Structure 1
């Protein structure tokens, strides 16, 4: 017999998942499928205005394209979109043609017409290319071999050119500081995806292990359990306030990833680390008044940036859901309640006049900034909704 408190928490969680799922399938996917892709010049638009029209003049960051490819490929694999294959093939072709450099890496920014205007190397962009390759391999099985080959070439080149002498990767050549935990987080995500389906999972599993250990020994403060953003060349915290930055959204996101890795490797310590990251995010990174996760803390947990953005709400939601899956008793009830709070926080940002769009920033004033919806947020939103949807199916 189910405990009454757990039953109420599960029912509230189910209601929250239904609201989010209805918004995704009924509003967001149809809208972004219709207006989020440039059917004249090619490529995905950087932003869509709150009136539902794309921002035609925006330059286009490379990272937006693999994120949007992931969204439509993941949705297509769940049979919720018609003609998704054509869209992602057009989007992928544009991404490769416009951003791929001669050395196999991807540049950073292009014009709306598809001319590269910033070809600089960014580790973050390579991570998202690997992630898009993985979703295409999963969603379009006939392309799996080709995608795996592309991914392995990019990974090998990345290791050859940018491997850090201790662990992880450099930010640039010559050495560019600070080193950053964030691109490693997305490389970790790509590795966890590839290791489950690659014909040769060994390099992906090895890099996932390397990043997990780097996170647990260097990114995360051994005394407080908080994960920092910026580092010296030897992976010690970067000097000054920059080296003290702790982002609540990334506490949640790393919690989700390290819990996944800990489950896959049967490493209880990683799950304990994930639970502590989640605790920090909830206790120090959620505004009591606005009931949303905000952007920044320092390493003493004082606030560095009180503005709330959309994406940390999705990471709060994902981490809550996964930790609920692997918990029992009162702890599972707690994580389900956190998921409900995170879902409610996310839905504040989704309450636009035209359903299917979103606000990005909520300052201390409590009034959302009136600006176009960034396409880059869709990856966070869709991934979080699929995580809670899968969790609900498991728990029911």
Structure 2
């Protein structure tokens, strides 16, 4: 759509010409897997490697291929997938949390958050034609183990075995994302049933009915934690959940648009600092700022959801009068604002890197660019490119 053509052009050039080549050339390790960070001067930073980073980089390069990047996206995705399957998969079908650069296990724990990203990477790779049928088997083995070991008696999953508290909504958000990825890949069993349960859990227990905002921390029976953690609301997660609940319609046939819109409204109404124009890290239950840092990932999640609502508004404006068309432009303005903020983080001396934390005084923390953010950037820019250049 013409309203976002300039933004889409910039995003495509930044991705195709700078970021994707850099994170393959410098961000990958020829011995296996991807580095955790690249310094702002352009060199890889040696460090132990989390499963979530390898899984996210698999997605990044699979998505790059879907977007038409002419670079070696298949080689890059396979590079990360091979390291993930070789070094992180435990004999029981679950995936360990952390390994050394040479693949030696450093932390053998298997928490729900990391299992969600393993499941997500398997879906993305399978959808791209990597790994053959083995990935479907690996995903089923992982889900079977989750259902047997981490099943929560009320709904959803435990954090880990043995049980740890508080329970968190965030790992379930990524489990929903992973199950949606399998549905999108054409394999619904058992992923559609798991996704429906998580959507119902969010709608009935995780979202505060008074405000429409989703909480972060819960007791063992899915009640908001009694301490101050129970009141924490992260704007970035309002946007992520809003995006996913909007997808429940086309993927599950379940209409949760009202919850999606309330989540987005809470995040934008309370979570955007007017001085910086950026989404802050955390609020309390009433919407007051308790952590004013503005992380990059929250800006990209705001952008992605704003784009989805802009696309819907554009579709709904067909055939309406001038007043209706003008009203439909407002979500596009919100998307442009979110893009402008996101782009500030990507303004680095070495093109293709980013800054992660914007402080209350408007300055950025000087630190290496974390690879984990690339997944957030690509997921937002992929929507931008598709909204701006629809089929």
Is residue 2:16 matched to residue 1:19? Answer: no
Give the aligned partner of residue 333 of structure 2: 337
Aligned to 1:5: none
Report the alpha carbon displacement of residue 266 of structure 1 after superposing the two structures with TM: 4.2
- The aligned counterpart of 1:203 is 190
For normalisation by structure 1, the TM-score amounts to 0.93
Residues in 1 aligned to 2:158 and 2:383: alpha-carbon distance in whole angstroms: 31
Distance 1:198 1:145, change over 3 A: farther
Q: Deviations over 1:48-106 (max 9, x none)?
A: 000110002x1111110010011112212333143332332232121122211121111
User: Where do residues 1-396 of structure 1 align in structure 2 (5 Å cutoff)?
Assistant: 11-39=2-30, 41-56=31-46, 58-140=47-129, 143-199=131-187, 201-268=188-255, 270-327=256-313, 328-329=316-317, 332-394=328-390
Within 2, Cα distance between the matches of 1:145 and 1:376?
27
SS of residue paired to 2:69: coil
Distance 2:14 2:278 in 1: 19
Secondary structure of 1:366's partner? coil
Instruction: Render the CA deviation track for 1:212-268: whole Å, top value 9, x for unaligned.
Output: 010011110011101001100110001211111100000000000000113434444
Distance 1:93 1:263 in 2: 32
Q: Is the CA contact (8 Å cut-off) linking 2:67 and 2:382 kept in structure 1?
A: no
Once the two structures are TM-superposed, the CA of residue 204 in structure 1 deviates from its matched residue by 0.9
Q: Partner of 2:320 in structure 1?
A: none
| CA–CA distance in structure 2, aligned partners of residues 349 and 207 of structure 1 | 36
Q: 1:266 to 1:98 in 2, by over 3 A?
A: closer
1:144 is displaced (CA, Å) by: 4.5
CA shift digits 1:2-52 (9 cap, x unpaired): xxxxxxxx544222222122111111111111101011x321100000011
* 1:202 partner SS: coil
CA distance 1:147–1:206, shift in 2 (3 Å):
same
The answer to whether the 8 A contact 2:33-2:84 is kept is yes
Mean CA deviation greater in 327-336 or 340-349: 327-336
1:318/1:384 contact within 8 Å kept = yes
Give CA-to-partner distance per residue, 1:293-338, whole Å, 9 cap, x none. Answer: 1110010111111000100111111111112222334553222111
Please report the TM-score for the alignment, with normalisation by the length of structure 2: 0.94
Contact 1:127 1:183 in 2 (8 A): yes
What secondary structure is seen at the aligned counterpart in 2 of 1:117?
Answer: strand
Once residues 184 and 292 of structure 2 are traced to their aligned partners in structure 1, the CA distance between those partners, rounded to angstroms, is 38
| Long gaps (5+) in structure 2 | 318-323
Q: Across the two proteins, how many residue pairs are aligned to each other? A: 381
Q: Which deviates the most, 240-249 or 329-338?
A: 329-338
> Per-residue displacement from partner, 1:358-392 (whole Å, max 9, x unpaired)?
00000101111110000000000011100111112
CA 1:261–1:144 in structure 2 vs 1: closer, same or farther (change >3 Å)? Answer: farther
Q: What is the distance in 2 between the residues matched to 1:237 and 1:11?
A: 44
Using the TM superposition, name which of 303-312 and 83-92 deviates more: 83-92
2:133 partner SS: helix
CA displacement, residues 181-226 of structure 1 (integer Å, 9 cap, x when unaligned) = 0011111011111113334x13111111101010011110011101
Q: C-alpha separation between the residues in 2 aligned to 1:221 and 1:204? A: 26
3-state SS of the aligned residue for 1:143? coil
In the alignment, is the contact (CA less than 8 A) between 1:259 and 1:323 conserved in 2?
no
